[in-house]
Structure 1
């Protein structure tokens, strides 16, 4: 099964971000916009893993994270990967207790390395992907101006991702308290 981990967003934040997507979709037609129900802050993409690997992953993560941690963040700042001059992925960034999100990601890197799943990543930039460009245009950081209310992250969700002709379908497998 194809698996990734993510921090879920409150419905009110998804509503606000989706309003932005609706406004911007009228201006840019060469973009595959993210569906409202798929908005999240990706932590780590793990790729194709077996049921056994999934169970090992869950066991190790549940031991690492059961501490009752709350991470206070907000969504803000428009960005693009790899850059504004050649954007392929459009996203909104995260501010607040980003160091705590990075700590969770670091733990996931350790566990996935031990289990030999997922690819190693040099750094983690917490973000909410809002769209993927099909052809190149030049954008700048002021194209989207938005800052959400602060909210709490209390768990990491493990999702199964199924690719379909109309786009990915995400199914929550388990929520692991932080």
Structure 2
């Protein structure tokens, strides 16, 4: 099973994030959009894990002391890949988020899990495989607060040949 840790959002927040996808689509973005149910913010990618490792990961999740109950989304960005780009919504500087991610990666390392060496760049993926030439700096993005629903251990699965993310376990962050 392929596992990762993420911040999740409630349905209303996901619908609000869809408005940015619609704005980008009308601005010329031609990539494959992230399905509404799959919108999340990755904290740490684990990869393939055994049942025993999954139980360790659940314990790590439940022992986290850091919280992050809200984010400010405020800009667009892209990671350039071979022939396309991944378009994302950026997060304003957030000490609680960075503390949570640092605590999580420290706990993962302590339990023998590999973590990514590159600098953590918090983002919400909106499109994959975009080959258009839309200049993201010209797309008007209004800063917006979004509530975080939970910190979750997620599993990547395929349902009807479509990628889906299933919550394995979660710790709720907001009461809204």
TM-score of the superposed pair, with normalisation by structure 2 = 0.81
Structure 1's 154 and 135: CA in aligned 2 closer, same or farther, altered over 3 A? Answer: closer
Residues 57-93 of structure 1 deviation map (CA, whole Å, 9 limit, x = unaligned): 221332232x7x453322221111149xx86110111
SS state at 2:137 partner: coil
**1:165 & 1:30 partners in 2: Cα distance?**
23
Residues 72-119 of structure 1 deviation map (CA, whole Å, 9 limit, x = unaligned): 322221111149xx86110111126x1211111112211222333343
Q: Which consecutive unaligned segments of at least 5 residues does structure 2 have? A: none
Superposed CA RMSD in Å reads: 2.7
Further displaced range: 42-51 or 12-21: 12-21
Which residue of 151, 166, 169 corresponds with 2:164? 169
SS state at 2:103 partner: helix
**Are positions 1:74 and 2:69 aligned together?**
no
Cα contact 1:159–1:172 (8 A) shared by 2: yes
Structure 1's 87 and 144: CA in aligned 2 closer, same or farther, altered over 3 A? Answer: farther
Number of residues paired by the alignment? Answer: 172
Cα contact 2:89–2:124 (8 A) shared by 1: yes
Structure 1's 161 and 61: CA in aligned 2 closer, same or farther, altered over 3 A? Answer: same
SS state at 1:7 partner: strand
TM-score of the superposed pair, with normalisation by structure 1 = 0.81
Corresponding residue for residue 12 of structure 1: 12
